[in-house]
Chain A
Amino acid sequence: MSKISRRLFTGLAAASVGTLAFPSISLGAVPRVVVIGGGAGGATAARYIAKDSGGAVDVTLVEASKRYYTCFFSNIYLGGFRNYGSIGHNYYGLSVNQGVNVVHEWAVSVDPANRIVKLGSGNTLYYDKLVVSPGIDLKYDSINGYSAAVQDKMPHAWKSGTQVQLLRNQVMNMKQGGTFVMVPPPNPYRCPPGPYERVSMIAHQFKQSNPTAKIVILDPKPKFSKQGLFEAGWQKHYPGMIEWISSEDHGGIKNVNATKMEFVTDLDTFKADAACVVPAQKAGAIAMAAGVNDGDWCPIQPASMQSKADENIYVLGDASMAKSMPKSGFSANSQAKVAANHIRGALTGSKVFDARYSNTCWSLIAPDDDVKVGASYVAGAELIDVESKFISQADDSSETRAANYQESIDWYNGITADMFS
């Protein structure tokens, strides 16, 4: 069978059967890579290893969801600029175009000594190299009174999916002139400017449908990403609507009462008509099961994204401790390419090039007012070091801010094609 038709066949088989059982012993000389997690880190790694090895590496992607809704641009949906379907993607491109075996299951455990991943069905996957890219889990108990049981009352909406749709509904249905409370997470967390872009997008929605509404941000931090740019934007577009209260002023959130919709702080007790509460975060559970974590996150080798605990395991994206890179989809996508190059080199002898990373985060404050921050990075001995960086300027022209928004839309199309096509 020719390379293309074999790949097509493998892809179609994976696409149509959905779940495939694999023997736990490698059958041939073709090395095997298993990727856990089909987001910006995992999907990109699977795609690049399969694409660039041209069939010389067998790649299996384990991802529970058949349709993946990106976290990035979920705020743009919350602002009413996109419909929810437009941030959903499937895995057919990876299986049909790239020959990746896509298995829609949960990975439940990893046996690093025998290099085996166990799936929820009981099936096992053998690997030569394993990529762990599970994203985040939420530490619900980091906020007294908050729990998974009340997450539909006060959505976190920090892992995309139905929680984001729920939050949009609650924003749209909040009583006229009501108060919306936003509780951002403490550092480190997924998408540093995300909570503040979210506030901007909710304010944009309120400006049209609920113009006397108020937004109170009870921040567990004394400062935040792109603070000057956001605050200037809020002043310009939503004067009097948004109040940001620093941890130094409210003294910490002592308790959250989801029944009464109340937030108790040293400063005051805040009553909400709708709320978004984002707790502290940690690496996804499978990273802990694989034993590659040190506390909440997973230390990596800056030159390769290999786990410091196991050279056959690579940890990508939010789950990794990749300081100085922020936890973002862009970062995960960038790290995946370094890991893919390193993995191919180890398994097929292809040339391994020096690690180079980059990140850019766009944030929409109001229609055609978009700000960005970014940096390029190189591998240092201990950390991923910043090489150069930039941030939008306070005195940018309105044309520049509008061009940033168009750029972010093109980036969205670019990165999702880079992950899924």
Chain B
Amino acid sequence: MKILLFLIFLLTSFCKFAFSEEHSDEQQIIEMGDIEYGQYLGAECASCHQQTGASEGIPAINGMDAEVFVALMLAYRSKEMENPVMQMIAGRLDDEQIGSLALYFSQLEPPK
């Protein structure tokens, strides 16, 4: 099992190296981001998303992986994911703003 994991690790490392010119959409969006802007925009999120502790209905977003964050926001923006509040919030965010939020939240301490 450990050997298998190691092989997967080698393979993914190789792929990242080999195809590093071809960034994913998520990575490109993250590169457009600005942390200070993300901090300002992220204040809107803090009205509902608690900064500490997990919750049942509204998940914690502090410390979330930046690529996962971007993928989720894109899915809300395109209405692939349901929830009218999140569709409204994401619907008015451009790529730079999503990238800024992803950068900001990914560097915060995740809730314990």
Contacts and interface: CB of A to CB of B under 8 A. Distances in A.
Nearest to A360: B85
A353 B40 contact: yes
Given A374-B88, A390-B87, A390-B88, A415 B47 contact: yes
Contacts of A243: none
Contacts of A392: 84
B12 to A, nearest CB: 35
B46 A414 contact: yes
Interface in A376-417: 376, 387-390, 392, 403, 406-407, 409-411, 413-415, 417
A141 interface: no
Contacts of A407: 48, 57-58, 85
Interface stretch (A14-22, A130-138, A333-341): A333-341
The size class of the interface chain A forms with chain B is 20 to 34
Contacts of B40: 337, 341, 351, 353
A374 B36 CA distance: 27
A48 B52 CA distance: 17
A390 B41 CA distance: 21
A375 interface: yes
Interface in A308-360: 330, 333-334, 337, 341, 351, 353, 356, 358, 360
A334 B92 CA distance: 16
Contacts, number: 82
Given A358-B88, A387-B92, A390-B85, A403 B57 contact: yes
B58 A410 contact: yes
Given A353-B37, A390-B85, A337 B58 contact: no
A421 B51 contact: yes
B50 A417 contact: yes
Contacts of A413: 50, 55
A117 B47 CA distance: 29
A52 interface: yes
Contacts of A410: 48, 50, 55-58
Interface in B72-86: 84-85
B43 A376 contact: no
Contacts of B41: 353, 356
User: Which 3 pairs, one residue from A and one from B, show the smallest C-beta to C-beta distance?
Assistant: A406-B57, A410-B58, A390-B84
